Chain A
């Protein structure tokens, strides 16, 4: 299906280390990483996204969070939030 292709394409981009789809309760629906890592990412990023969203909305109630990027020394974690789901991609950006 179109969705499958999209997700497969995302995974095959240069530098992408893993893709995770999480639902509103923090349950990983789809993942390309191993279980323990997935669970960690799911739990931690879910909370962080909620916090980030509430921060943005506190500052301006008509604003909303569209994308979250965390760049660390080793790689970049990108989170695309939605009302019910969360798409998390870990990529190694080009140096």
Chain B
């Protein structure tokens, strides 16, 4: 429908100005509403449409690059003396001084200052103006019910460009102001030629630059501070050598063991021993040996132990060791965690290698990465391997008394809290640190912190239980402070933890006794009909027997299953009427 209005103008009037005149309103078109048209329209649902006329904003974060600062001091040297007085000349200076002392203004002003000063000195001597009142009351505070937290204090980054894994950490035994971190690339043949071999000692007050560098001839895999002599560190290297450093003597190792006498694989753990001289340590490596050293003479180990459970004493059957454990309260015993998931408890006093290995604990599927005894109840120890962490009791050899659930990521390291008997920490390959409080929750960690995106490889708690350090794959060591609820001893905690451990070990013992009973019964039954099966004396059946037995059992199972299926088929195929008659027959009878 077009609405047009035509107006005409004479050609001669083009270009002339317009003379507007008023005229009355003229109705051009009148379109009345037609309700029938509404039928072809669909009513829409009401909807809310927000409209805002605001500037578009976006949020950004930036962090400036770290500014490298260095502190420098200026030493004041004498100055200010008038030109005619030479400060070096004692005579001239004393003469000058005497002259000043005779001046009137000096005497007057000093008298006033003197009395003012005396007032303050006496004040200081009278009371301690900063005295803490009610100090004892503050400490008796009940532990507040705050949720457990962990705060990152510092991040110590590897200063080299090519990042290596921070494989082991050791706190300085005196106060924990310093942290020694060893860096090494543990992946087989992945280390590039330019990778530096250095490891560092960091001072926590200056976290930007390492305080000291340790320069070995081969990257260090594990480090340990000597608990008796704080300047000495022992380290195990990637090529199997063991070396020790004295921080007073510089970055080069004071002595290194001879390659021929050392391990043939990287040394995974080195621990100082308790001895009168304070110079004994022992090391373990995946070549299956545990060697004892006296650092005064690193040319050959003082003792050697081959971890062979079949007790043959050769390196062929030996299990590679990946972790060691030693507790100073039990100096004759130590434990080794092996690559195949076994924990071997050994006795140092054994005369022959056979006697040295006292018991084994099996239960893990992968290499045992960490072994630690509970500092409060040394009979219980924690082992961390593959995807699970287990707690064992020395008396219960058959299985662990407690264990966590299987995790999604592999566990790499774990340790107990030195201040609380029921708290322990574990690190995982996905970069999370878990804090477990056994008295609170046993199925899940009490606190799980994502420390970094890459895998965490090592973990150490400082002796006060408050601060812990974890090392990652890219060489960053992160220092975390955990909330006081997780590190201060709760009331009755020791008793409760002890009870818990005892209860769990008892449960395991009962289960084991039951299992033994069942086994005896089984054997009793099988004795009546068949020949007696020879009891396995060796730790393993030969593989062929196992395979044959498995095959036989498999086929037997298949046969029985097939027979069952055939019977069922038969039943289904018989006509329904006969079945009914049978059923009716049964009912009647």
Contacts and interface: CB of A to CB of B under 8 A. Distances in A.
Given A13-B125, A26-B79, A76-B124, A67 B116 contact: yes
Nearest to B116: A80
B520 interface: no
B109 A83 contact: yes
A67 B120 contact: yes
A38 to B, nearest CB: 9
A23 to B, nearest CB: 6
B116 to A, nearest CB: 5
B114 interface: yes
A40 B81 CA distance: 15
A80 B126 CA distance: 20
B79 to A, nearest CB: 7
Q: Which of A2, A14, A27, A78 has the most CB of B within 10 A?
A: A27
A74 to B, nearest CB: 14
B78 interface: yes
Interface string A67-95: 10101000010101011110101010111
A52 interface: no
B107 A3 contact: yes
A13 B77 CA distance: 30
A21 B101 CA distance: 10
A39 B77 contact: yes
Contacts of A3: 107, 110-111, 114
Interface band, chain A = 35 or more
B193 interface: no
B117 interface: yes
A93 B128 contact: yes
Interface string B70-104: 00000111111110000000000000110011000
A39 B105 contact: no
A30 interface: yes
Contacts of B107: 1, 3
Given A26-B80, A76-B124, A66 B101 contact: no
B125 A14 contact: yes
A1 B96 CA distance: 20
A56 interface: no
Contacts of A23: 100
Residue in A3, A6, A80, A91 with the greatest tally of chain B CB atoms within 10 Å: A80
Interface in A11-59: 13-16, 21, 23, 25-27, 29-30, 39-40, 43-44
B114 A6 contact: yes
A10 B109 CA distance: 16
Contacts of B122: 13
Contact of B120 (A43, A78, A83, A94): A78
Interface residues of B, number: 35
Contacts of A15: 121, 124-125
Nearest to A80: B113
A45 B131 CA distance: 26
B110 A13 contact: no
A67 B124 CA distance: 14
A19 to B, nearest CB: 9
B115 interface: yes
Contacts of A2: 111
Given A29-B100, A87-B113, A44 B105 contact: no
A89 to B, nearest CB: 6
Nearest to A22: B80
A76 B481 CA distance: 33
A20 to B, nearest CB: 11
A13 B120 CA distance: 11
Nearest to B87: A27
A94 B121 contact: no
Contacts of A76: 124
Residue among B75, B120, B121 with the highest chain A CB neighbour number at 10 A = B121
B115 A78 contact: no
B130 interface: yes
Given A16-B121, A27-B81, A89-B121, A40 B76 contact: yes
Contacts of B114: 3, 6-7, 10, 80, 87
Given A23-B100, A67-B120, A82-B109, A94 B128 contact: yes
A8 B78 CA distance: 25
Contacts of A26: 79-80
A15 to B, nearest CB: 6
A90 B583 CA distance: 113
A40 B569 CA distance: 106
A43 B73 CA distance: 14
B121 A30 contact: no
Interface in B279-309: none
B581 interface: no
Interface string B119-151: 011101111111000000000000000000000
B116 A91 contact: no
12 contacts: A1-B107, A6-B110, A10-B117, A39-B78, A66-B116, A78-B120, A78-B121, A84-B105, A85-B106, A91-B121, A93-B124, A94-B128
The 4 closest A-B pairs by CB, nearest first: A43-B76, A6-B114, A25-B80, A80-B113
Given A25-B80, A80-B113, A93-B125, 15 more contacts: A2-B111, A6-B110, A7-B114, A9-B118, A13-B121, A29-B101, A30-B97, A40-B76, A67-B120, A69-B120, A71-B130, A87-B110, A89-B117, A94-B125, A94-B128
